[in-house]
Amino acid sequence: MIRVLLAEDQIMVRQGLKAMIETDEGIQVTGEADNGNEAVQLCDQQFFDVAILDIRMPEMDGIEAAKILRSRFPSMKILMLTTFDNQQYVMDALKTGVSGYMLKSGDTESLIRSIKSALRGGLSLEDQVAAKVMPVLLQSQEKPHIDPSLTPRERAILKCIGEGLNNKEVAERLGLSVGTVKNQTSHILDKLELRDRTQLAIYAIRHRMV
């Protein structure tokens, strides 16, 4: 059973999202919060596989809550949810290391797919969100110089991560085991001094690897 924390200050919206999520028998919303503070407190009290945070909430917004949760519970996946597709919101969310950025206008299938993708190590962006953020990443002034310490295999894995593939998909494409992909990904993170797969994906895009 996938245990989900749902933080959304509008009760009717939260109830609707909960109903959508629980159409999948393998997923259950086991915690609900009205704001970021409540979300953090709930995570201190019980275990969640995934936290879905509205980006705009009273007392503590989703981005600030995500920063705290990422530091305290690094194994928990975080998805951001909002009505806004402003590129700055997206960039701020991605910098915290979240596993996806979804719009409230999305459908049930997309929401469930994003939850499952996050648990597999994937990165989910709605198409219209990706359309806004990718040009920003590609226009970065950072030199497209790829770290020379990366081996050919590590570069291939990094390219796949930049394309949004999860560990299983990377393994299938490159003919590797999932365990090898996980180990190689850890080596890449160490070499590039990055924190997570989200930052690896951003690195790959900025360095024109995808």
Q: Taking Cα atoms as reference points, which of 74, 26, 8, 76 lies closest to residue 48?
A: 76
Grouping H, G, I as helix, E, B as strand and the rest as coil, residue 160 is: helix
Task: Please check whether residue 79 is in contact with residue 118, taking contact to mean a CB–CB distance below 8 angstroms.
Answer: yes
Question: 2-136 belongs to which homologous superfamily?
Answer: Response regulator (3.40.50.2300)
Task: Give residue limits of the domains in the chain.
Answer: 2-136, 152-206
pLDDT at 195: 74
Q: Which two tokens stand for residue 188?
A: 């890449």
Other CB atoms within a 10 A radius of the CB of residue 69 amount to 27
Instruction: Report how far residue 135's alpha carbon sits from residue 42's, in angstroms, rounded to the nearest whole number.
Output: 37
Which CATH number is 152-206's, of 3.40.50.720, 3.40.50.300, 1.10.10.10, 1.10.287.3510?
1.10.10.10
Residues near 126 by beta carbon (within 8 Å), at least 6 away in sequence:
85, 101, 102, 103, 106, 110
| pTM (predicted TM-score) | 0.68
Name the amino acid, one letter, at 166: N
pLDDT tens track, the chain, 210 positions:
999 999 999 999 999 999 999 999 999 999 999 999 999 999 999 999 999 999 889 999 999 999 999 899 988 999 998 876 666 777 777 777 788 888 888 889 889 988 988 887 777 777 666 666 666 665 655 555 788 889 999 999 999 998 888 899 999 999 999 999 999 999 999 988 887 787 788 788 777 787
Query: What are the two backbone dihedrals, phi and then psi, of residue 73, each rounded to the nearest 5 degrees?
Result: -130, 70
Torsion of CA 98, 104, 109, 115, to 10 degrees: 20
Dihedral of alpha carbons 167, 130, 202, 58, sign: negative
Instruction: Give all strands of the β-sheet with 50-54 in edge-to-edge order.
Output: 27-33, 2-7, 50-54, 77-82, 100-103, 124-125
pLDDT score of 24? 95
Antiparallel, parallel or unpaired: β 2-7 and 77-82 = unpaired
